[in-house]
Amino acid sequence: MTFADRLKTLIGEESVSGFARRVDISEALIRKYLKGSEPSLTKANQIAIRANCSLEWLATGCGYLYRHAEVVDQHALISAYTTVTGQTPTNEQTIELVKMVSGYQFLRKHKKTDGYLDIEAMTTFLSIAKMERK
């Protein structure tokens, strides 16, 4: 998988122009990367930070797609749920809890330039994360 392929995965169903705005890199430069050009380390890091992606994965394809801060420790989550509710969550409840915590963590770190929560970016993030689980 090339850098361009990984970038396409990261963009997902979001428009190239929307993704470019989100990572604060010109659309022309993003399109150049999609055609096979390799970014500098500074630009790759900027994309990784703004797209909440692991720089290691973006640069090499190794490691996790998302930064570890976005990875939910399911054992800890299930333990917390059980302690708070006195019940063990079903598999379906666990999946929903993971989505909720992942979405929360994403929103906590990603705000629009006006300071508001970026719900649209979170939705994209969750749809990509869902694809990764398959």
Please give the Cα distance from 65 to 58 (Å, whole number).
7
Quick one: pLDDT at residue 131? 46
Q: Burial-class residue 68 by CB neighbours within 10 Å (0-12, 13-18, 19+).
A: exposed
Ranges under pLDDT 50 in the chain: 131-134
Number of other residues whose CB lies within 10 A of the CB of residue 9:
17
Q: Which fold has domain 3-60?
A: 434 Repressor (Amino-terminal Domain) (1.10.260)
Q: What is the pLDDT of residues 64-88, one digit of tens each?
A: 676 655 567 788 889 999 999 999 9
pTM of the predicted model over 0.75? no
Structural domain spans, the chain: 3-60, 74-132
